[in-house]
Amino acid sequence: MRFQSYDPGEFYDELFVAKGQPRPYAAALIDRINSLSPGDLEIRQEAAKTAMMKLGATFNVYSDSEGTERILPFDLIPRIVSASEWAWLEQGLKQRIHTLNLFIDDIYGEQKIIKDKIIPEELIYSSKGFLKPCMGLKPPKGIWCHITGTDLVRDKEGKWYVLEDNLRCPSGVSYVLENRRVMKTTFPQIFAKLGIQPVDEYPSHLLDALLNLVGDHISNPTVVVLTPGMYNSAYFEHSFLAQQMGVELVEGRDLVVSDGYVQMRTTKGLKRVDVIYRRIDDTFIDPLAFNPESMLGVPGLTEVYRNGRVALANALGTGIADDKVIYAYVPQMIQYYLGEEQILSNVPTYLCWEPKQLEYVLANLDQLVVKAANEAGGYGMLVGTQSTEAERLEFAEKIKANPRNYIAQPTLSLSRVPTLLGDTFEGCHVDLRPYILYGEDIYVHPGGLTRVAMKKGSLVVNSSQGGGSKDTWVLCE
């Protein structure tokens, strides 16, 4: 009985209601694991690690002196989401992405939301994600955020919250697909018994969303994935998705603007490119429009894009919606653009640029999580409950020096999933990043990347900070 001593404690556990009492939809999985011979699960865990290594599912850590490439830690115990709960999450995510797309279109267009004083003008113009050269852009079919990764968490009571939005170059979906491939070989009988929604159709849905951007007059469009190169932290994913979609993986030096179009260098000469799935941040994509020192992008690309002669996914300028200060206004956006109440709630958020809220944040740093508005990967963050007084004093000075750049949120007791650490199960905190594609309509991929803090007690799930991943099982009706 492997789970005999496992105690979910006071946290919401994704697989157990209480000690020795699995959730109904997890009972078959728990029974299967309990039936394994001693040491069998550890052998399977090691086999999964070897399989990941052979698949080459790596990521890079730029600050790691021991070497740049690592295998993303993977834990065999999956997270399970019931069919009814997933249907509700799907509805909430579609509402949110629809709203954010309308917001980005408005901000680079008529700016009605500013004129109607729903969002202060200075917050938009002071955001690092707001790109003035994108004013007046009209992306194909009015779609800006074609690929989104929205981070969700659950609290102690099991309530879901949106933690943040990722609309520039969201990564991680390759691990969703590879995790599932490994799990199918590890627990084949369970897959047959439970009825788990498949995830392997993501590349075809992604390609459909990209081809949706091409005009009907182009009969045989060329799609490429634009990568910064092999030293990028998500290069494995760039090459994986290009290979799965059957399209070319290119770097900036492989593309050139010629005759008013973006062209790809090939052994047979130049070939016109119609859609670019870009995995390069906005400011590096065109040295003529943004950062003149960028060696990664394509000079002149923005002008071709503005003229409607190439499509980009995601559109330039979507980073405005990644700003964690702008995130705080999404409930108002949903009401403003759709006339609806939000389905998925934001985490309660304090805005440090507002004097009274700043005062509260500085007085309660030991209880709050403070985040920089435009940082990612767990950087630029203070977890108050796990910080020292010296760290809080240092962070307080940063906030006071640039209050616009910081938000604060209560420390949520994130839900947990049993995780194999050594030869015992520990409840480890998780979040969930579902992937949403905006093509002909909005498609929410079933499941997503469950990231797990693989250090006991840690709340930081990011891979760059020692986190790992789990397979996410969304059950069929």
pLDDT of residue 269: 95
Tokens linked to 339: 């006339």
Distance CA 34, CA 41 (A): 10
Q: pLDDT band at residue 421, thresholds of 50, 70 and 90?
A: confident
Distance CA 19, CA 40 (A): 23
Condensed to tens digits (0 to 9), the pLDDT of residues 274-320 reads 999 999 999 999 999 999 999 999 999 999 999 999 999 999 999 99
Q: pLDDT band at residue 51, thresholds of 50, 70 and 90?
A: confident
pLDDT of residue 37: 87
When mean pLDDT is compared across 278-282, 374-378, 387-391, the lowest value belongs to 374-378
Q: What are phi and psi of 38, to 5 degrees?
A: -55, 130
The beta-strand segments (E) located in 109-244 are 147-154, 160-166, 223-226
Condensed to tens digits (0 to 9), the pLDDT of residues 81-130 reads 999 999 999 999 999 999 999 999 999 999 999 999 999 999 999 999 99
pLDDT of residue 463: 62
What is the b/e burial string over 343-361, where b = at least 16 CB atoms within 10 angstroms of the residue's CB? bbebbebbbbbeeebbeeb
- Asked if the bond preceding 314 is cis, omega within 30° of 0, the reply is yes
When mean pLDDT is compared across 8-17, 61-70, 237-246, the lowest value belongs to 61-70
Question: Which amino acid, one-letter code, is at 203?
Answer: P
pLDDT of residue 67: 47
Does residue 355 or residue 380 have the better pLDDT?
355
pLDDT at residue 46 greater than cutoff 80: yes
Q: pLDDT band at residue 402, thresholds of 50, 70 and 90?
A: very high
Distance CA 395, CA 401 (A): 10
pLDDT at residue 179 greater than cutoff 90: yes
Query: How many percent of the chain have pLDDT more than 90?
Result: 77
Condensed to tens digits (0 to 9), the pLDDT of residues 118-131 reads 999 999 999 999 99
pTM: 0.94
When mean pLDDT is compared across 61-70, 150-159, 172-181, 422-431, the lowest value belongs to 61-70
Q: pLDDT band at residue 79, thresholds of 50, 70 and 90?
A: very high
Residue that the structure tokens 């690690």 belong to: 49
pLDDT of residue 115: 98
As a residue count, the chain comes to 477
pLDDT at residue 65 greater than cutoff 60: no
pLDDT of residue 62: 45
pLDDT at residue 181 greater than cutoff 50: yes
Residues 421-432, mean pLDDT to the nearest whole number:
90
Q: pLDDT band at residue 66, thresholds of 50, 70 and 90?
A: very low
Residues 6-27, mean pLDDT to the nearest whole number:
94
pLDDT at residue 215 greater than cutoff 50: yes
pLDDT of residue 49: 85
Residue that the structure tokens 């209880």 belong to: 367
8 Å CB contact between 255 and 266: no
pLDDT of residue 64: 47
Distance CA 69, CA 290 (A): 30
Q: Is the four-CA dihedral 272, 275, 281, 286 of positive or negative sign?
A: positive
Residue-range domains of the chain with CATH = 350-410 (3.30.1490.270)
Does residue 47 or residue 440 have the better pLDDT?
440
Q: pLDDT band at residue 218, thresholds of 50, 70 and 90?
A: confident
pLDDT of residue 392: 95
Residues 139-147, mean pLDDT to the nearest whole number:
97
